[in-house]
Amino acid sequence: MCCSKTCWLIAGSVVGGLLAILGGVLFPVGDLLVESTIEKEVVIEKGTIAYDNWVKPGSEVYRQFWIFHVANPDAIINGGKPLLQQKGPYTYLVRDLEKSNITQLGNTVSFYQPNQATFQRHMSIGPEETNYTVLNLAVAAVPALIDAPLLIDTLIRTTNSSLFQERSVKEFLWGYRCPFLAEIPDQIMPDKNIGVFYPYNGTSDGPYIVFNGKEDISKVAIIDKYMGESSLSYWNDTYCDMINGTDGASFPPFVGKKDRLFFFSSEICRSMYGEFEKEYTLKGIKIYRFVVPSLVHASPLINPDNHCYCTELVLSRNCTGAGVLDLQKCQGGKPIYISLPHFMHASDFIMDMVDGLSPNKEEHETFVDVEPITGFTMHFAKRLQVNVMFQKNERITLFSKLPRETLLPVLWLNETAIIDDESVKMFKSAVTVPLTVLEVMQILLICLGSVMFLACSIALCVRSSKKKKGIRFALVLSKGKVFKGAFNAVLTG
C-alpha cells in the first residue's frame, strides 16, 4: 500500500482525469438520455406529461372580441365611406371542455373538439347585452347567396330592414332570429337564425385524426386527417388544400430556430406557418417565439404560393391585392373574408375602403411561443378579423347608391392563453429541474476533475523537479569533497 505524497498525487491526477472524462461523456450520453425521456413523455397516450394537457388545456384559453361600431350608417347607404369605432374587449372562456370521442388507432388518435364560450364579465368592458350599430349580416349576405334581386328588394321593404341595425354583442356573436330571414321561404333558407359565429355553443369541430408519436415522434400532434379527409377541397389546388402541421397547441419536440412551425385552422380553412422571431424567458422557462410573417398574407405577385388562395378577382384587383382571404367557398357562399386585425399587411386600396383603423404589430400579429425541447406551446395569440363584402346593385334599392364594393370589418378577435403558475411548477419539476441538474453535474464534474488533475499533476512535477535538484546537489557536494581530499594529499605529499 502506497502512503507517500507522490502516490496520493498520482491517485489524485487519475481520479481528476476520470471525473473530467466522465463529465465530458455525460454530454452526449445526457443528450441521449434527455432525448429518450422526452420522446416518451410527449407521446399522446395516457400516462405521459403531454396527454392530460392535450385532452384539456391546462391553462385557460380566452377569446377576446372587439366589435366595430358603425358611426355613420346613413352616409354609407348614400355612398359614403364607413367610419368605424372599435368597442371591446368582450371576453369569453373557450376550450374548457375535454376533447370527446378520443380513440387510439395504432399510431394515430381521433377526437372531436367541443365548442363552448362562457362570457367573462370581469375581463370585458361591459355586459354582453350592450348594443352597437353593426352590419345587418342577413341583408348584406343574401344578395351573394340568392340571385333574386326583386325578391330581396321586396323583402327588405316588407320587413323594414336596413343594411345596418342595433344588436347586442351576444346576438351579433352567437346568433339571433332574424326578421328578414323569417320571410324567405324555408326551401330557400330553412334556418332563420344568424350570427357571426352561429352556431357555436353545443357544436364540435372535427373529427380530427392526429399522429400520437408512438412510431415517429417527429410527427406527434400533426394532423393526418380532418373530417375524414387528408386534404381540403375549397381551393382546387394541391398546395393550398394541404392540411399541414398541428392545431397549434403543441408541436413535435426539439424545435430549432430555423424551423417553420406549421399549423392548421379550420376557421380560416387553410394551413399557415410561423417563423422564429426571438428567444426569451417566460416564468423561468426558455421560449422560442414564432410569428406568422407578412409573406403568408402577401399577394401572389410577392408570394407565388398564394396564387391558389385568390378566388375572387374584383376585390383582389385581379389577384394583385394582399392581406385578405376569401372564405366564400368554405362558408357556403357567404361573402366572408378573413384578414389580420385592422387590415394589417393588407394592400392600401383595402385599407382605404374604411376609416377608423390603425394596425400595429404588437396588438394585431399572430404568434406562438414554444418550449423548444418538448415542443409544448406555452403562450399564443391567434388574431383574426372577420370582414363582410357587399356591393352596389341597381336592382336593390338599398344597394343602389353603394360604392362598387365595400369590404367592411365587423369584428376582430384574439384567442389567447398563457401557461399558468401551477403548470409552470409541474413543467419545471418534470422537465426543467432534471435538465438543469444534469447540466450542473456535467459542468461540475468537468471543472472538479480538471482542477484535481491539474493541481495534482503540477504538484507531481514540482515534487519531481525538487528531487532531481537534490540529487544533483548531492553529487556536486560529493565531487567537491573528493577533489578537496586529493588536493590536500598533493600539498602534504
- Neighbour tally for 206: CB within 10 Å: 18
User: CA quadruple 432, 433, 434, 438: dihedral positive or negative?
Assistant: positive
- pLDDT of 157 reads 95
- pLDDT of 7 reads 74
- pLDDT of 423 reads 86
Interhelix angle 149-158/137-145, rounded to 10 degrees, is 160
- pLDDT of 473 reads 45
Q: How far is residue 189's CA from residue 347's CA, in Å, rounded to a whole number?
A: 35
The residues, ordered by sequence, that sit 6+ positions from 317 with a Cβ below 8 Å of its Cβ are 347, 349
Q: What is the pTM of this model?
A: 0.85
- pLDDT of 392 reads 94
- pLDDT of 491 reads 46
Query: Please, what is the Cα angle at 206 between 199 and 50, to 5 degrees?
Result: 120
What does 178-206 look like in DSSP terms, one character per residue?
-HHHHTS-TTT----EE-TT-S-TT-EEE
- DSSP classification of residue 455: H
Instruction: Please report, for residues 200, 289, 305, 324, 445, the alpha-carbon distance to residue 259 in angstroms, rounded to integers and kept in the order given.
Output: 34, 12, 18, 26, 34
Q: How far is residue 154's CA from residue 151's CA, in Å, rounded to a whole number?
A: 5
- pLDDT of 313 reads 78
Q: How far is residue 298's CA from residue 301's CA, in Å, rounded to a whole number?
A: 8
Q: How far is residue 161's CA from residue 138's CA, in Å, rounded to a whole number?
A: 10
Pairing of strands 61-70, 405-418: antiparallel
For each of the chain's 493 residues, which pLDDT tens digit applies?
Answer: 555 666 765 665 555 555 556 555 555 544 555 567 788 889 999 989 899 889 998 899 999 999 999 999 999 999 999 999 999 999 999 998 999 999 999 999 999 999 999 999 999 999 999 999 999 999 999 999 999 999 999 999 999 999 999 999 999 999 999 999 999 999 989 999 999 999 999 999 999 999 999 999 999 999 999 999 999 999 999 999 999 999 999 999 999 999 999 999 999 999 999 999 999 999 999 999 999 999 999 999 999 999 999 888 778 888 889 999 999 989 989 999 999 999 999 999 999 999 999 999 999 999 999 999 999 999 999 999 999 999 999 999 999 999 989 999 999 999 999 999 888 888 777 765 556 655 556 566 567 656 666 666 676 677 666 665 555 545 444 555 544 554 454 445 5
- pLDDT of 32 reads 53
- Is the previous residue joined to 89 through a cis bond, with omega within 30 degrees of 0? yes
Element containing residue 388 per DSSP (H, E): strand 377-391
- pLDDT of 98 reads 94
- DSSP classification of residue 80: P
**Annotated domain spans of the chain:** 1-51+420-474, 59-96+118-199+231-419
Q: How far is residue 372's CA from residue 387's CA, in Å, rounded to a whole number?
A: 35
Grid cell, residue 241, equals 388544400
Q: Is 308 helix (H, G, I), strand (E, B) or coil?
A: helix
Contact at 8 Å (CB) between 346 and 339?
yes
- Neighbour tally for 397: CB within 10 Å: 14
Instruction: Please report, for residues 188, 293, 393, the alpha-carbon distance to residue 152 in angstroms, rounded to integers and kept in the order given.
Output: 12, 42, 11
Closest among 263, 271, 265 to 239, alpha carbons compared: 271
> In this structure, which amino acid lies at residue 6?
T
Element containing residue 478 per DSSP (H, E): helix 433-492
Closest among 434, 444, 425, 443 to 35, alpha carbons compared: 434
Q: Is 53 helix (H, G, I), strand (E, B) or coil?
A: helix
